[in-house]
A and B are shown apart, each in its own frame.
Chain A
Amino acid sequence: MSGEESASALRAEGVTKAYDGRVIIQDISIHLETGELVCLLGVSGAGKTTLFHTLSGLERPEAGRVLLQGEDITGRPGKISYMLQRDLLLPHKKIPDNVALPLVIRGEKPRAAREKALGYFAQFGLEGTQDKYPAQLSGGMRQRAALLRTFLGSQGVVLLDEPFSALDALTKREIHRWYMGMMDQLQLTTLFITHDIDEAILLSDRIYILSGQPGRISAGLTIQPPRPRDLEFSLCGEFLAYKKQILSLLERQG
């Protein structure tokens, strides 16, 4: 069993994190298998971002471990690619340099890193931005540039904190579809935060619900049928059943 466990792409074991003596998240145990798209759903203030900060290694937990492919990475940043809430493109770098930043940080030559980044520009709909600064791009494009930066920096596992929340409904649907294709193609494992229950059901293989104060994992559910699901799915009875279940779970703890 333990051999199987260590094969998880990402695993958190009993993670507890406190700030100034106040416990924010308590005894969090979750796992992500390779290629999975898992969503973390929860009311505001339940500690979703704290959990992400801890998983990414930005914060060291008071208790518990974080394992990446079985390797202990607790409190060690630079192993998991983390996209924070805002796109955070650096205003003074042109788009290719922004996107290639994680590679440069890791010690690659800027020129080679930029070439590597440019190789994905078409796939990410970033053609024509080679000579542009972030201030010259639309919100959707900036988001895609930030996503590309996250992918380039990743070694398989990606954490996304509300990656699609700034987009309007139509752009969102488009990006959802595009993201699923991209994930399979790049063989990524994703854990993402959202407030949008529909988005969670439509996209995820599994959903974790984080609630309470301090935040704990109060439920985990697997969504059937397997991905990819089309928009029709969001109109069928199963979808609504999931939604009802999640709403009641959130309410019970909320």
Chain B
Amino acid sequence: MKRSPSITSKLPPLLALAAVLAVWLIASEGGLVPEFMLPSPAQVGAALVSEFPTLLDNAAVTLQEAALGLGIGIAVALVLATLMHRVRALYRACYPLLVVTQTIPTVAIAPLLVLWMGFGMAPKVTLVALTTFFPIAVSLLEGYASTDKAAADLLRSMGASRWQIFRHLEFPTALSYFFSGLRVSVSYAVVGAVISEWLGGFEGLGVYMTRVRKAYAFDRMFAVILFIVAVSLLLMALVTLLRRLAMPWEAYEKIERND
């Protein structure tokens, strides 16, 4: 019944996208920028089609690194955030350090990791884990802290142990925060894997990018960028789907709030 607002809300982004495409079209086809430097949308489309099998092969490697790194990132974030939540001293000790690690640019540590770990998968997975754990850890900490104190009192009055309060109240409360963090981390994971591949490797979207860049194949550069954007968007949609499955009650809360 609320169809019409959702269409009007989708209109502005569609218009903006169309405007970007129009500028691109005018710049490339109109001869404002030399063709070899800025390929037209049609050329990029053609490259995307012809290179699609190669892109898929490389994406398989990159996604594997991203998934492994993200998995480790989630695990570390869960353990660390939960421990920090439980042990106040650990929170005070680790939180500033956690923030500092995030100010180190990814491109700066990636070469170091390659030097330490070689050209295999290890440095890539490590980099992804490093970049993804932070948003999840911070979200979880925020989520744990947002627990309703009165609800915790209620559980304590029932004789609940700390673990039971965590399991029945704190963790479910933090779940929505976890998924918000995961949504950010998923796109970090793909970008992190690609960046670490620039610095060395045998396969992957980052390796492919370096190769076509060296060949000045601008159409294929654009194609791989679009491809990475699409993959990231798809993964973010997957997180939203997971969230809906894991937290079915959220749908009703939103209805209540809107009314």
Cβ of A106 and Cβ of B159 under 8 Å apart?
Answer: yes
Which residues of B approach A to under 8 Å, CB–CB?
148, 150-151, 153-160, 164, 168-169, 172-173, 175, 247-249, 252-253, 255-256
A238 to chain B, nearest CB (A): 36
A79 within 8 A of B: yes
Cβ of A82 and Cβ of B157 under 8 Å apart?
Answer: yes
B112 to chain A, nearest CB (A): 42
A105 within 8 A of B: yes
- Contact flags A88-109 to B (C-beta < 8 A → 1, else 0): 1011110000000110111000
Nearest A residue to B249 via CB reads A133
Cβ of B249 and Cβ of A92 under 8 Å apart?
Answer: yes
Cβ of A79 and Cβ of B159 under 8 Å apart?
Answer: yes
Residues of B within 8 A of A92 (CB): 172-173, 175, 247, 249
A86 within 8 A of B: yes
**How far apart sit A80 and B159, CA to CA, in the bound complex (Å)?**
9
With most chain A CB atoms within 10 A of its CB, the pick from B175, B249, B256 is B249
B86 to chain A, nearest CB (A): 19
Which residues of A approach B to under 8 Å, CB–CB?
53, 56-58, 77-82, 84-86, 88, 90-93, 101-102, 104-106, 133, 135-136, 153
30 CB-based A-B contacts, threshold 8 Å: A58-B153, A58-B156, A77-B156, A80-B157, A81-B157, A84-B157, A85-B150, A86-B150, A88-B151, A90-B151, A90-B169, A92-B172, A92-B173, A92-B175, A92-B247, A92-B249, A93-B172, A101-B168, A105-B155, A105-B158, A105-B160, A106-B158, A133-B248, A133-B253, A135-B249, A135-B252, A135-B255, A135-B256, A136-B252, A136-B256
A190 to chain B, nearest CB (A): 16
**How far apart sit A105 and B151, CA to CA, in the bound complex (Å)?**
14
A37 to chain B, nearest CB (A): 20
With most chain A CB atoms within 10 A of its CB, the pick from B150, B153, B158, B175 is B158
Q: Given A91-B249, A101-B168, A133-B252, A82 and B154 touching (CB < 8 A)?
A: yes
**How far apart sit A92 and B248, CA to CA, in the bound complex (Å)?**
8
A145 to chain B, nearest CB (A): 13
Cβ of A56 and Cβ of B157 under 8 Å apart?
Answer: yes
Given contacts A78-B157, A92-B247, 20 further A-B contacts (CB under 8 A): A58-B153, A77-B158, A78-B158, A81-B157, A84-B154, A84-B157, A85-B150, A88-B148, A88-B154, A90-B151, A90-B172, A91-B253, A92-B175, A105-B159, A105-B164, A135-B249, A135-B252, A135-B253, A135-B256, A153-B158
